[in-house]
Amino acid sequence: MCHAFLTDTNFYQLLFQIDESIAEEVGARGCKCGGVLHSARYPRKPRGIRSALDSNYGSRLSFCCSQDGCRRRHTPASVRFLGRKVYLGVIVVLLTALNHGLSEARRRRLIEELDVPLQTLWRWRRCWRAVAGQFIPPIDADTLPGALLERLSGSSLSERLVQLLVLICPVTTSSSSLRVSGNPQNM
């Protein structure tokens, strides 16, 4: 099956490295008040495919302003975690993509195995729509995000998934203004 990479440790390490570099930028900017940012990770218990995950997935990278009286939270965008949800972005993207390629019975089995509620999948359809709106020609909303994955330029499914996760990661946090620009040939 096409989700064999879900058990590929390198894939998760790559996602972690992307998160680390985004966090590095946020940390270097510092706080609006002029304070220095200290690491203050959020503990997370990602659900699904536990065996493939190492200890890096036990927390979401985040910072706290060290200035007394401010102590503002700064949580960088993440390609691994969607919002406050513990579900890994990759699983939600994949399951939603598989909506169109899997029989209903197999899809339900996969969702059960990975323990992701349907409501979560539906919530994330809104995000595909936002990302799809940036493409020319526009992508038919009924074919999201499968069509979105096809439009990206990576040679393998895992490469395209990484690109898609990077595209949607600005919506995973409210305190980040990060914007990722895509390949002009594909946008």
Question: 72 or 107: whose CB is closer to Zn ion?
Answer: 72
Question: 56 or 66: whose CB is closer to Zn ion?
Answer: 66
The interface region with Zn ion, picked from 63-71, 102-110, 114-122, 151-159 by CB under 5 A, is: 63-71
Q: How far is the CB of 28 from Zn ion (least distance, A)?
A: 15
Does residue 65 bind Zn ion (CB under 5 A)? Answer: yes
Q: How far is the CB of 94 from Zn ion (least distance, A)?
A: 37
Question: 177 or 186: whose CB is closer to Zn ion?
Answer: 177
The interface region with Zn ion, picked from 69-77, 106-114, 137-145, 159-167 by CB under 5 A, is: 69-77
Does residue 121 bind Zn ion (CB under 5 A)? Answer: no
Q: Residue 115, by phi and psi: left (phi above 0), alpha (psi -120 to 50) or beta?
A: left
* Measured distance CA(106)–CA(157) in Å, rounded: 19
Which pairs count as long-range contacts for 35-41, CB under 8 Å and 24+ apart, including other chains?
35/65, 35/66, 35/67, 35/70, 35/72, 36/65, 36/66, 36/67, 37/63, 37/64, 37/65, 37/66, 37/74, 38/63, 38/64, 38/65, 38/66, 39/63, 40/64, 40/73
Binding interface with Zn ion (CB under 5 A) = 31, 33, 35, 65, 67, 70, 72
